[in-house]
Amino acid sequence: MPALLPVETDPGAPATLRVAAAADPARWAAEQRDPLRAFVTEHGALMIRGLDLRDASGVTAVVRELTDAPVTEREAFTSRQIYSEGVYSSAKWPPNQPMCMHHELSYATEFPGLMLFACLDPPEEGGATCVADAAAVLGALPPELTDRFEREGWLLTRSYNDEIGATVADAFGTDDREAVESYCRANAIEFAWQPDGGLRTRQRRSAVVHHPVTGLRCWFNQIAFLNEWTMAPEVREYLIEEYGADGLPFNTCYGNGDPVTEDIVDLLNKTYDAHTVRRPWQAGDLLIVDNIRTAHSREAFQGPRDVVVAMADPVRTKDCAPDSGRAVA
């Protein structure tokens, strides 16, 4: 098995492996699979530069060699184009608004252990997929705050309608009420249909989990990203005026239902910022991210940006407890 080539560890940037363009990137990925995966498990993320990925089918071939099983996205917040099972376009999020640090599907009972991002067309400005070490973020947050979230978990509330955000069909892959209700019951999601046909849901999840391989305690959630105070002020004000405070497309609370205040959201985002590393995209780049060990975000950008996203290797951890937010056997 070939050894992994020397990895660059520049300050402020994710670890990067520079390779010569391969005639068959999928074959190269198959040959390097074990050292690549071992590095990402130990360090959390790795950017591969020079692989010369050019289209979604080429990305899919590489993903299939590097991962064990695809993850089908459920409970999505925006629509995506589907290229193949587990391989999607980037989330449709306004280019002028950043996507704050988060762990993909950390509000679900099953989520991807690996995320892979491949840049086919870099933006003119901004648009980097940034990463942050979740174990380091946990260690930097005030213990009294993380202790509370570890005891109580966090609560996600969502309101679905056909006017803003993801529709029921976007999130659940169907608009059949019985199928949606069956999914919710199977995944510990409280639900209530509204008189106008909309749907509201509540789900409690763990805020801190142990990595299933390394055992590291990681800050694993979307408390800040999906909170009302992370929205642009004018967007938040409009949504509350239009739909009411209880009708926001999404919001987060402490596990007991207490609101997460603006100062706490600000603290979480500033802590992420202090641990964020980035490297601007170049065409053909591949970024591999351990979704539990490492949070990711997307900068605002200008110009076209084509980044293919793959979700793989489903994980259910013992301490991602849907009913209590605490470890379970």
Q: Look at residues 211, 229, 207, 233 and name the one whose alpha carbon lies nearest to residue 220.
A: 207
Looking at the structure, do residues 222 and 285 belong to the same domain, yes or no?
A: no
Looking at the structure, do residues 160 and 259 belong to the same domain, yes or no?
A: yes
Looking at the structure, do residues 143 and 229 belong to the same domain, yes or no?
A: yes
3-state secondary structure of 130: strand
Contacts of 133 (CB under 8 A, 6+ apart): 44, 275, 293, 294
Looking at the structure, do residues 228 and 284 belong to the same domain, yes or no?
A: no
34 within a domain of the structure (yes/no): yes
Give me the residues paired with residue 307 across strands: 119
Average pLDDT of the chain, as a whole number: 92
pTM above 0.85, yes or no: yes
182 within a domain of the structure (yes/no): yes
Looking at the structure, do residues 151 and 244 belong to the same domain, yes or no?
A: yes
Looking at the structure, do residues 162 and 263 belong to the same domain, yes or no?
A: yes
| Alpha helices (H) in 210-295, listed in sequence order | 233-243, 262-274
Q: What's the average model confidence in pLDDT over 82-96?
A: 92
Range of the domain at 120: 16-93+105-130+278-293+301-315
Q: Look at residues 311, 261, 326, 283 and name the one whose alpha carbon lies nearest to residue 51.
A: 283
Q: Kindly report, residue by residue over 129-174, the tens digit of the pLDDT.
A: 999 999 999 999 999 999 999 999 999 999 998 777 788 998 998 9
Phi first, then psi: give them for residue 142, nearest 5 degrees: -60, 130
CB 188 within 8 A of CB 202: no
Q: What's the average model confidence in pLDDT over 171-196?
A: 94
6 within a domain of the structure (yes/no): no
Of the listed ranges 83-87, 181-185, 236-240, 288-292, the least confidently predicted one is: 236-240
pLDDT for 318 equals 67
Looking at the structure, do residues 167 and 220 belong to the same domain, yes or no?
A: yes
Looking at the structure, do residues 199 and 265 belong to the same domain, yes or no?
A: yes
- CA distances for 207 relative to 148, 164, 175, 185, 322, angstroms: 10, 27, 30, 21, 11
3-state secondary structure of 313: strand
CB 12 within 8 A of CB 278: yes
Cα separation of 203 and 157, whole Å? 7
9 within a domain of the structure (yes/no): no
Identify the sign of the CA torsion 84, 50, 20, 42.
Answer: negative
Looking at the structure, do residues 144 and 245 belong to the same domain, yes or no?
A: yes
pLDDT for 316 equals 87
Cβ-count burial of 181 within 10 angstroms (0-12 exposed, 13-18 middle, 19+ buried)? middle
Amino acid at 15: A
Cα separation of 141 and 80, whole Å? 33
pLDDT for 3 equals 57
4 within a domain of the structure (yes/no): no
The enclosing domain of 64 has a CATH number of 3.60.130.10
70 within a domain of the structure (yes/no): yes
Q: Kindly report, residue by residue over 37-53, the tens digit of the pLDDT.
A: 999 999 999 999 999 99
Band (pLDDT 50/70/90 cuts) for residue 251 is: very high
2 within a domain of the structure (yes/no): no
pLDDT for 4 equals 67
Looking at the structure, do residues 111 and 143 belong to the same domain, yes or no?
A: no
Cα separation of 119 and 307, whole Å? 4
Q: What's the average model confidence in pLDDT over 88-92?
A: 91
**pLDDT greater than 80 at residue 319:** no
**pLDDT greater than 80 at residue 208:** yes
Looking at the structure, do residues 164 and 208 belong to the same domain, yes or no?
A: yes
In percent, how much of the chain has pLDDT > 90? 81
- In DSSP notation, 94-157 reads -TTSPEEEE-TTTTSSSEEEEEEEEEEE--SEE--EEEEEHHHHHHHS-HHHHHHHHHH-EEEE
How many separate domains does the chain show? 2
Give me the residues paired with residue 46 across strands: 288
Band (pLDDT 50/70/90 cuts) for residue 329 is: very low
326 within a domain of the structure (yes/no): no
3-state secondary structure of 171: helix
More confidently predicted of 281 and 4: 281
Looking at the structure, do residues 260 and 288 belong to the same domain, yes or no?
A: no
